[in-house]
Structure 1
């Protein structure tokens, strides 16, 4: 049986990307049996045309930035989707440089993961402050849950308000809910009896899927960017189910004395080095187990129980991941602070008395202090 590789010349009749049969999560995938069809279209275009379904495709950071470079020369509304649970990890750094004068609508997904008691206005104010601190100018911020269909009417309304006669570019990292928004836009705006158009960005061999709208404009669905500073990108695929929350996260509160340690499975470690007895609140997936021990026993506990009592990942899966690196942080007295671990969650510290802490996470994972979300 012949297998089509990326270097072969057969192209998708829908979006123009080279067809290949090896990787279903890469651009241009087509099942081997479908190659004989005329016209031959990739699985992604097939799903869009037949099932109103857009599938996520991912590219690495350099390719994605080259892809973004053409947006400034267009007249478009840029819809940037981020994950509230991994806000700093999924925000596209430097997006402002690439979009030029085009307006940016920030869609903040997965608000259903926060406790229902949290005031949405507090979340909105927090997002606006964090976004401004990152240097991103937005025309509007919309909170939603793609999975629970919360706030999506507001998203559609905001797109209609701000796009005018423009095309709509949808950008975002992987696992932020981009495909769900694309699917909703297709249902609300697109005439699926029309053929998919194709276009290639300047300076790159990557294609985006262009979905025609009823008014003659287009939704441009860009591939999801892979940020390796997110835990979700470096764990084995089998671990994602435990790592990604699928229901509201439960606050885990620990009263700690200095010299105590918390393990989040074998994914991260939190050491309370110095400070008065105080509470630390963890916000991680409910599927993850947290273990408390004395700091003096932490190294031994990890070496003895990693991949077993301290899991996930398993011992075999840990071998595929980077070794831990330490991040030392001083929590200033009188601050209300989160210690954020990209893709895993965060630890809230009410720093009324201050603290010295160490956080251990796989090398390359973004770990930082921020103003408290909750």
Structure 2
């Protein structure tokens, strides 16, 4: 690419031709067009597609660092299926006195009989325990357009004369919300054809609104602690649910094991016979075996019976780490594995569990969601 082509005329980001998933990507074949804009802005301009570009955590935190000095509404979108994995840790220290609206997406994955008030209280409690003060919580499904009108109207009510920062991890539905806000509040196409957005920072797109304020669409942050970020792309379909979850309950004795494909392993080490309910993608195959046979089964069948990942990608996956978890008698808890789902412990007599998951993937105990 010619050295004279350095910045996108649409968003101002530095242009590059080598990394399609990084900000500023421009196919070499497009370098001659006028004006010269990155692939992201091209898609916004021509397809109204404000899909996010991933940046690493350090770049993202530098971007968040300027929010406290602004007068803004911060809209944080999280994935209900991967709540702890998609919640931006430490967000509170960056937002200053600006209000935070927590938008919880993908509620369509839960059973219809879900107590939504209880779920909302659960979300608020977990947000508080993570140090995040939220002005309001809105539950929605961007895919099914459930509660989305309320999201948009709540943003309209809360923002007043503020700008709107939209933040979130990758694959949480952020682009769907930004597109809806563009449709309702902005003449994006006209602005893009005239000039680059005013006030654009290196890794964000400022979308002018009709009242002179802006939506600041920040790139999706990549958390390597999420299973969905470290597995091969061709395995995502098996891990990420696209239809309502169908919980499966297993009656287990101590020293029994559940394999989640070849991605994780759940060992019931000690405790009285009890049931565990699995909430994971219906496309992910679960295999039950005795604990004493688990190592042998994995060694002989990983990448085949126990997949994903397939054999072709086994060497690319991080090695497993064991997490020892203890559930005390009377506790109602979930075992959460980021990006894979959760297992609700239904027994009231306590249990000792070992969870084996790729190194770095977030594994924890939490209050039961349902």
After TM superposition, the score normalised by the length of structure 2 is: 0.96
Contact 1:14 / 1:198 at 8 angstroms: preserved in 2? no
Contact 2:209 / 2:215 at 8 angstroms: preserved in 1? yes
C-alpha deviation, 1:24, in angstroms: 2.4
Contact 1:25 / 1:56 at 8 angstroms: preserved in 2? no
Query: Within 5 Å, which residues of 2 pair with 1:1-374?
Result: 3=1, 9-192=5-188, 193-195=190-192, 196-201=196-201, 206-374=202-370
Q: In structure 2, list runs of 5 or more residues that go unmatched.
A: none
After TM superposition, the score normalised by the length of structure 1 is: 0.95
C-alpha deviation, 1:8, in angstroms: 7.0
C-alpha deviation, 1:327, in angstroms: 0.4
When structure 1 is superposed on structure 2, of 8-17 and 336-345 the one drifting more is 8-17
Contact 2:52 / 2:218 at 8 angstroms: preserved in 1? no
The 4+ residue runs of structure 1 with deviation greater than 6 A are none
What is the alpha-carbon distance in structure 2 between the residues aligned to residue 257 and residue 49 of structure 1? 58
What is the alpha-carbon distance in structure 1 between the residues aligned to residue 4 and residue 302 of structure 2? 45
Q: In structure 1, list runs of 5 or more residues that go unmatched.
A: none
What is the alpha-carbon distance in structure 1 between the residues aligned to residue 325 and residue 12 of structure 2? 49
Aligned length: 366
Residues 142-180 of structure 1, C-alpha deviations (whole Å, 9 max, x = no match): 001111111110000110111000000000001111111
Contact 2:11 / 2:200 at 8 angstroms: preserved in 1? no
- Measured on the aligned residues, the alpha-carbon RMSD in Å equals 1.3
C-alpha deviation, 1:50, in angstroms: 2.5
What is the alpha-carbon distance in structure 1 between the residues aligned to residue 34 and residue 260 of structure 2? 52
Residues 272-318 of structure 1, C-alpha deviations (whole Å, 9 max, x = no match): 11111100011111100000000110100010111100011012212
Contact 2:78 / 2:104 at 8 angstroms: preserved in 1? yes
